[in-house]
Amino acid sequence: MIYLDYNATAPMRPEVWDAMREAMLVPSNPSSMHAVGRKARQRLEAARETVAHAVGVWPNEVLFTASGTEANNTVLRGFPDRPLLVGATEHPSILKLALKLGGDVLPVDGQGFIDSGILESKLKALGRPALVSVMLANNETGIIQPIARLSQAARQYEALFHTDAVQAVGKIPFDMGTLQVDMMSLSAHKSGGPVGIGALVLRNDLPIKPFLVGGGQERSQRAGTEAVGLAAGFAKAMEMAQTREWTASIESEMRSLENNIKQNVVGAEVAGEGGIRLPNTSCLLIPGVVSETQLMHFDLEGFCVSAGSACSSGRIEPSPVLRAMGIAEAQAACAIRVSAGWNTKPEEIRAFGESWVKLAQRLGKQAV
């Protein structure tokens, strides 16, 4: 199989497994006072330091969570007195919850970008300090939002600003200082770390309401015994993500793939094309061929790709992200997301392009 679904989850880096194995084979409750507990505490704090260093904050500004989803939910539920404003193309762990909590949505343009003028006018109309959440990089299209510009606009209205940086880890350089945000969500498994751990990075003077209540772990802000082994793996993945050694060659291969498809398949389009995007992500639309048909073909040919994230109980709905960008429902139903990563070989992307042209030939959609 050729795996091109890194935005869903990335294969674990072997070094991550080594780091985890060592920490997981011993009992690890960092709250225990004995020598074994103290060793666990040491490992946990070393991991926290590495994650903090990778995003340019102090270690006490990193709270470990069980996922990016938990970090996102914690933020949205953490400031109940503030009205919520979130991007229209956010991950469901932001968008669904924000709508449930009565939040408002910031529209995007045809490429998927949020306009700082629209943010400002919504904040002005609210007339009181809000909580704004806009993702750094989109999981379906790879579009990278102008976070620093948006957070500067938000600050004029005393809003708090959160960014979901889950998809940016290991793909582009970023840190809390340059983005000028108050909070950030991370997840380990999109860049070669383990599934089941993420982090909420927050300025340490922020009075966030804890989401999980119980023991006094994570400075009483996130109850539950800390997953030391997973934290060690997360730290190793964050450390390795800093080099991004694979991104330059993969980006040029992905852009060639896009050009190849556009030239060879009638009506093919790239969502968000022309905008600043992640180096590893392409969202390709082939009008008239629904995602299910394409996925079936690629599955038979040995490729793992995705129809976008709008897949629930096995049924694929047209992607709300693409719909928010103004793409018609019928066209959005024909999207495929291809996402590469640290272990992708350029020839795998080329093979995928060839398979696509083969599908187009079979369906009579090959350009002449």
Write out the residues near ligand PLP by the rule CB under 6 A: 67-69, 72, 91, 93, 135, 139, 164, 166-167, 187, 198
> What residue is closest to ligand PLP based on CB?
68
Q: Which is nearer to ligand PLP, 41 or 171 (CB)?
A: 171
Is 304 considered catalytic here?
Answer: no
Q: Which is nearer to ligand PLP, 135 or 202 (CB)?
A: 135
Q: Minimum distance between the CB of residue 320 and ligand PLP, rounded to whole angstroms?
A: 13
Q: Which is nearer to ligand PLP, 167 or 264 (CB)?
A: 167
Extract the tokens encoding 45: 């704090």
Q: Minimum distance between the CB of residue 276 and ligand PLP, rounded to whole angstroms?
A: 16
Q: Minimum distance between the CB of residue 143 and ligand PLP, rounded to whole angstroms?
A: 11
Q: Which is nearer to ligand PLP, 123 or 136 (CB)?
A: 136
Q: Minimum distance between the CB of residue 249 and ligand PLP, rounded to whole angstroms?
A: 23
Q: Which of 283, 304, 311, 334 is catalytic?
A: 311
Nearest Cα to Cα of residue 88 among 124, 114, 120, 111? 114
List the catalytic residues.
Answer: 311
